[in-house]
Amino acid sequence: MNEKYNFIEIEKKWQRKWEADGLFKTPDDTDREKYYILEMFPYPSGKLHMGHVRNYSIGDVASRYLRMKGYNVLHPMGWDAFGLPAENAAIKNGIHPDVWTKENMAEMRSQLKELGLNYDWDREVATCTPEYYKWTQWIFIQFFKHGLAYKKKNPVNFCPSCETVLANEQVVDGVCDRCGTPVGKKDLDQWYLKITDYAGKLLDDIEGLSDWPNKVKVMQQNWIGRSYGAEVQFKIEGSEKLLDIFTTRPDTLFGVTYMVLAPEHPLLSELVSGTEYEAKVEEFKDKLQYLSDIDRTSTTLEKDGLFIGRHAINPLNGALVPIYIANYVLMDYGTGAIMAVPAHDTRDFDFAKKYDIEIIPVIDPHNDEIDLENLSEAFVAEGTMINSGAFDGLSNKEGMKKITEFIEKEGFGKATTNYRLRDWLISRQRYWGTPIPMVYCENCGWQPVPEHELPVLLPTDVKFTGKGESPLTTSESFKETVCPICGEKATREIDTMDTFLDSSWYFLRYADPKNSQRIFDKEKVNYWMPVDQYIGGVEHAILHLLYARFFTKFLYDIGEAPTSEPFKRLLTQGMVLKDGKKMSKSVGNVVSPEEIISKYGADTARLFILFASPPEKELEWSDEGVEGSYRFITRVYRLAQRLYDVVVFTPDDAAMELVSEGDKVLNRALNLAVKKVGADIGERYNFNTAISAIMELVNAINKYRDDDGANAALLKRSVCTLITILSPFTPHVCEEIWAEYGHSTSILDEAWPSYDESALLLDTEEIAVQINGKLKAKLVVPSGVGADELVSLALSDEEVSGLVSGKEIVKKIGVPGRLVNFVVKG
RNA sequence: GCCGGAGUGGCGGAAUAGGCAGACGCACCGGACUUAAAAUCCGGCGGUUCGUGAGAACUGUACCGGUUCGACCCCGGUCUCCGGUACCA
């Protein structure tokens, strides 16, 4: 073997050989049990960062392990390749987005290969290729055909810097998710996907995702946000119109003292037109328009409102209550109007105090500390109904049911469910995205492009100015077309799709990535889906994962996808930090993967990043830690060198008799490591403890190696097993050692070793002796003795009997293999 | 505010089912090898107190309390930090 651990040479050599041998290709071998393991595909931004290295190392170790376990493993990689940075680069540097993107893909692909990741590159997909986006367009058309894609004019979130609209989900704290610019409102005609039709299913099915982190499930539940309640119609005094409100608290209907409309409410102008309030209302609306989203949604914003001169009639008791408009009522939730119950709602309470509106308590908390007639804050908890006519005396929970039944019977309302989730705005006024395959005809309206004409190709004669509407308008050839229905002149949709659509189905395409006839072959998808293990950053907990679930459910409903949930098991890995902060250029704490790979090699980079922290947790980068991982690999390499003769000159079938205690100790360490590493990779996904188990095995072998009368067969088996179970983590160096040991096939094609449970027991074991629960002594006993025998063994021990002598033993507890505990008095 | 999670040596972390807290690694300290350094190897390493010493006693998993023979783990309360969400009626 080579003297030195030359990682540069070793890693290059094996990467070339793996590629030449096609080692990572996945057969559609439907006879074997499949395992589909997937990491979230990257945006080709230029270079890999440490987050990628972490994400993909986790997937690589798991997939290598599963393959060695005998599964037919699908482990693909691709590119989420549409998006704004490419277009910005085009504007700035004059490079076409396609060129820029493909250069980045090439660079990052070679970086992924330099990490030794076992991807089947034959299945690579890139969302920006016509072969792929053809099917994204096809899905859009299916949505349209099923009434789930529609165009509507609406005030939408608009990022003035990106010059495009944004989905609700892409506005974070009032600023653009991508560039951080405060988002404004613009009235635009835009395409939406009716994800709200799936709100119930998306929410209900979360329960079945038993192998998802609870955290992600809760985030999705909150995001979808279901509320049960009632819609109630109030008559408006002096008007034929009814005011429809949504409430989750029908039990408080008798406590309504005013009503509030959102300032954008469609009924408003009619209610005030020609009255003295009209001018003031307009002024109020104007004032609100100037507020940015940040201010508008800030909780510190003071409640502000205006009486509009009209009154509504409470359908339960006929009470006349004033109608207001206010900044705290949103048009796009519920009905855009509320009934206000200041006694039992904190927001209504604040507002009522400010405008001196009556407060009527209708729920009695039975609490002396609360003065109902003179509330200092809203009482929002449970209680008994009062001031509520025939409903007095009921618990408010019962009241909720009874009042809802009553309003349904009387015909002025009904029980309803409301979701926080809004429809998904998918139009983007950008070039580098999937063209929306729709055509507008004066006669026939919006029509989908016929499916046999797909894909609608992105035009190449486009100017990138970064200004105005979609760049697609600058194409001479693109816009003009004919109507697929009547054949008259028509125009194409010039907006492109939100890139989240592209990534909402890519995992299905990997099953059959080259199919040009269909979106994918059903049999192949049936075999591979669902994704057994999905791995990616927690930042995708809501958007990507929700959209991917939505697409899968839709494709399932139209008979294309075999499962209604895409991802069986989910692992959200933590961020990579340096000095306690997220690595970022502006902070200047970025450690580049390139740097680490060239200094220590890919094996070290992988090993460190998996060893430093369990996958879900944040990982603090440590240069010293990297050194440590490198040292460990060199230690293994040296050990393998020293045992070279033992390995090659000991026949495989040499008898392995365990004679000495040392033999048994090493054999135990060996079996323990196999057991623990398998469980830690396969079940727990705790790679850090798997690696420490391997380190313990290395220490055990090193300790044993120089013993007199060392057992060659045992040593050989130990070191070969060590290399095998280490190989998923550091594949290059292990492959090198494996080959040096005389193997002509890849270690990846070795079967994962099994272990012998009986080898885990030594002849004797150490038992803790506690007195009153405190550790007082240790006792060596034969392995496997039962509880009673353990107690008597302990009592017959000289030291222990000394400890309890003269005291009354009240209780004796024995726990086999662990401890005995004596409860004593005196 | 609401929802979720976390809090263990100087540091990253371990303890998988209520049973010896601190595995494994980093840093540090001491020793061997070396002319020397690096590398490597061996040993030590939660705290306090006592002891010349091998060692001993006490204490210790954010804090207070509870359940239990026994609690990092379960229960009640408090604090701090992180993440999500935020006028959703």
pLDDT, tens digit (0-9, with 9 covering 90-100), for A282-297: 998 888 766 655 555 5
- Measuring from the CA of residue A684 to each C1', which nucleotide is nearest? B16
Average pLDDT rounded to a whole number, residues A459-465: 83
pLDDT of res. A375: 87
Residue-level length of chain A:
826
Q: How far is the CA of A279 from the C1' of B67 (A)?
A: 68
Tell the burial category of A826 from Cβ atoms under 10 Å away from its Cβ (0-12, 13-18, 19+): exposed
pLDDT, tens digit (0-9, with 9 covering 90-100), for A305-353: 999 999 999 999 999 999 999 999 988 899 999 999 999 999 999 999 9
pLDDT, tens digit (0-9, with 9 covering 90-100), for A708-733: 667 899 999 999 999 999 999 999 99
pLDDT of res. A290: 60
Are A579 and A589 within 8 A, CB to CB?
yes
Percent of chain A with pLDDT over 90: 71
Report the C-alpha gap between A23 and A73 in whole angstroms: 12
Rg of chain A over all Cα atoms, to the nearest angstrom: 34
Q: How far is the CA of A767 from the C1' of B18 (A)?
A: 18
* Maximum Cα interatomic distance, chain A, rounded to a whole number of Å: 108
Q: Which residues contact A542 (CB under 8 A, 6 or more apart)?
A: A169, A219, A220, A223
- Measuring from the CA of residue A617 to each C1', which nucleotide is nearest? B6
Are A352 and A359 within 8 A, CB to CB?
yes
Query: Among A462, A487, A440, A410, which residue's Cα sits nearest to residue A189?
Result: A440
- Measuring from the CA of residue A813 to each C1', which nucleotide is nearest? B69
Tell the burial category of A665 from Cβ atoms under 10 Å away from its Cβ (0-12, 13-18, 19+): middle
DSSP 8-state code for residue A208: G
Q: How far is the first Cα of chain A from the last one, in angstroms, to the nearest whole number? A: 67
Read off the amino acid at residue A605: A
DSSP 8-state code for residue A683: I
Are A480 and A489 within 8 A, CB to CB?
yes
Residue with CA nearest to B69's C1' atom: A823
Are A261 and A285 within 8 A, CB to CB?
no
Above 70 in pLDDT, residue A408?
yes
Read off the amino acid at residue A762: L
Tokens of A66: 């599963």
Average pLDDT rounded to a whole number, residues A482-506: 95
Q: How far is the CA of A620 from the C1' of B58 (A)?
A: 36
Report the C-alpha gap between A642 and A651 in whole angstroms: 17
Average pLDDT rounded to a whole number, residues A40-62: 96
Q: How far is the CA of A195 from the C1' of B84 (A)?
A: 21
Above 70 in pLDDT, residue A600?
yes
Report the C-alpha gap between A218 and A216 in whole angstroms: 5
pLDDT of res. A298: 54
Q: How far is the CA of A694 from the C1' of B46 (A)?
A: 26
- Measuring from the CA of residue A341 to each C1', which nucleotide is nearest? B89
Q: How far is the CA of A552 from the C1' of B9 (A)?
A: 49
Residue with CA nearest to B11's C1' atom: A622
Residue with CA nearest to B70's C1' atom: A773
Report the C-alpha gap between A815 and A107 in whole angstroms: 59
- Measuring from the CA of residue A626 to each C1', which nucleotide is nearest? B26
Report the C-alpha gap between A435 and A136 in whole angstroms: 9
Around Cβ A735, how many Cβ atoms within 10 Å? Answer: 25
Q: How far is the CA of A773 from the C1' of B71 (A)?
A: 11
Are A694 and A673 within 8 A, CB to CB?
yes
Residue with more model confidence, A802 or A596: A596
User: Is the dihedral angle over the CA atoms A12, A18, A20, A25 positive or is it negative?
Assistant: negative
Write out the H or E segment, with its range, that includes residue A769.
Answer: strand A764-771
Residue with CA nearest to B16's C1' atom: A684
pLDDT of res. A296: 55
| Residue matched to tokens 């009255």 | A275
Query: Among A76, A74, A57, A56, which residue's Cα sits nearest to residue A66?
Result: A74
Beta strand spans in A587-711 (E): 619-620
- Measuring from the CA of residue A627 to each C1', which nucleotide is nearest? B26
Residue with more model confidence, A143 or A238: A143
| Distance from chain centroid for Cα A39 | 11
Above 70 in pLDDT, residue A459?
yes
- Measuring from the CA of residue A346 to each C1', which nucleotide is nearest? B87
Residue A392: band (very low, low, confident or very high) from pLDDT cuts 50, 70, 90:
very high
Report the C-alpha gap between A42 and A177 in whole angstroms: 17
Report the C-alpha gap between A290 and A204 in whole angstroms: 39
Residue with CA nearest to B20's C1' atom: A768
pLDDT of res. A288: 77
- Measuring from the CA of residue A348 to each C1', which nucleotide is nearest? B89
Q: How far is the CA of A11 from the C1' of B12 (A)?
A: 27
Q: How far is the CA of A698 from the C1' of B47 (A)?
A: 32
Above 80 in pLDDT, residue A744?
yes
Residue with CA nearest to B25's C1' atom: A628
Please give the C-alpha separations between residue A676 and each of A38, A157, A717, A754, A817, in angstroms, as whole numbers: 24, 51, 17, 11, 19
Report the C-alpha gap between A137 and A143 in whole angstroms: 10
pLDDT, tens digit (0-9, with 9 covering 90-100), for A184-228: 778 889 999 999 999 999 999 999 999 999 999 999 999 999 999
Query: Across the strands, what pairs with A570?
Result: A534
Buried b (16+ CB within 10 A) or exposed e, A42-78: bbbeeebbbbbbbbbbbbbbbbbbbbbeebbbbbbbb
| Least confidently predicted of A127-136, A173-182, A363-372, A625-634 | A173-182
- Measuring from the CA of residue A696 to each C1', which nucleotide is nearest? B24
Q: How far is the CA of A753 from the C1' of B39 (A)?
A: 34
- Measuring from the CA of residue A542 to each C1', which nucleotide is nearest? B84
Average pLDDT rounded to a whole number, residues A486-497: 94
SS3 at position A311: strand
The mean predicted confidence, pLDDT, of chain A is 91
Q: How far is the CA of A413 from the C1' of B39 (A)?
A: 82
pLDDT of res. A295: 57
SS3 at position A282: helix
Where does A146-213 have alpha helices with state H?
A: 199-204
pLDDT of res. A236: 95
Report the C-alpha gap between A375 and A356 in whole angstroms: 13
Tell the burial category of A256 from Cβ atoms under 10 Å away from its Cβ (0-12, 13-18, 19+): buried
What are A760-768's contacts with CB under 8 Å, separation 24+? A760/A668, A760/A671, A760/A672, A760/A675, A761/A668, A762/A661, A762/A664, A762/A665, A762/A668, A763/A661, A763/A664, A765/A817, A767/A794, A767/A817, A767/A818, A767/A819, A767/A820, A768/A818, A768/A819, A768/A820
Query: Among A117, A28, A18, which residue's Cα sits nearest to residue A64?
Result: A117
Query: Among A41, A206, A14, which residue's Cα sits nearest to residue A733?
Result: A14
| Least confidently predicted of A60-74, A110-124, A148-162, A735-749 | A148-162
Read off the amino acid at residue A700: A
Geometric angle at alpha carbon A436, from A430 and A440, rounded to 5°? 110
> DSSP readout, A54-109?
HHHHHHHHHHHHHHHTT-EEE---EE---SHHHHHHHHHH---HHHHHHHHHHHHH
Write out the H or E segment, with its range, that includes residue A668.
Answer: helix A661-679
How many distinct helices (H) and strands (E) make up chain A?
26, 34
Where does A82-213 have alpha helices with state H?
A: 84-93, 97-114, 130-145, 199-204
Above 80 in pLDDT, residue A368?
no
Tokens of A212: 């998802």
Residue with CA nearest to B27's C1' atom: A624
Residue with CA nearest to B4's C1' atom: A215
Q: How far is the CA of A666 from the C1' of B33 (A)?
A: 28
Q: How far is the CA of A47 from the C1' of B64 (A)?
A: 51
> DSSP readout, A579-616?
TTEE--TTTT----HHHHHHHH-HHHHHHHHHHSS-TT
Q: How far is the CA of A226 from the C1' of B77 (A)?
A: 31
Query: Among A65, A57, A64, which residue's Cα sits nearest to residue A676?
Result: A65
pLDDT of res. A660: 86
Residue with more model confidence, A377 or A694: A694
Residue A668: band (very low, low, confident or very high) from pLDDT cuts 50, 70, 90:
very high
Q: How far is the CA of A771 from the C1' of B61 (A)?
A: 22
- Measuring from the CA of residue A350 to each C1', which nucleotide is nearest? B87
Query: Among A558, A571, A434, which residue's Cα sits nearest to residue A506?
Result: A434
- Measuring from the CA of residue A336 to each C1', which nucleotide is nearest? B89
Residue with CA nearest to B82's C1' atom: A618
Q: Are strands A78-79 and A125-126 parallel, antiparallel or unpaired?
A: parallel
Residue A404: band (very low, low, confident or very high) from pLDDT cuts 50, 70, 90:
very high
- Measuring from the CA of residue A695 to each C1', which nucleotide is nearest? B24
| Least confidently predicted of A168-182, A384-398, A748-762 | A168-182
Please give the C-alpha separations between residue A260 and each of A293, A304, A363, A586, in angstroms, as whole numbers: 20, 11, 22, 46
pLDDT, tens digit (0-9, with 9 covering 90-100), for A635-666: 999 999 999 999 999 998 888 888 888 899 99
Chain B: bases < 7 Å from a protein Cβ: 3-5, 11-16, 19-21, 23-27, 39-42, 57-59, 69-71, 83-89
pLDDT, tens digit (0-9, with 9 covering 90-100), for A612-623: 999 999 999 999
Q: How far is the CA of A717 from the C1' of B87 (A)?
A: 67
Are A815 and A787 within 8 A, CB to CB?
yes
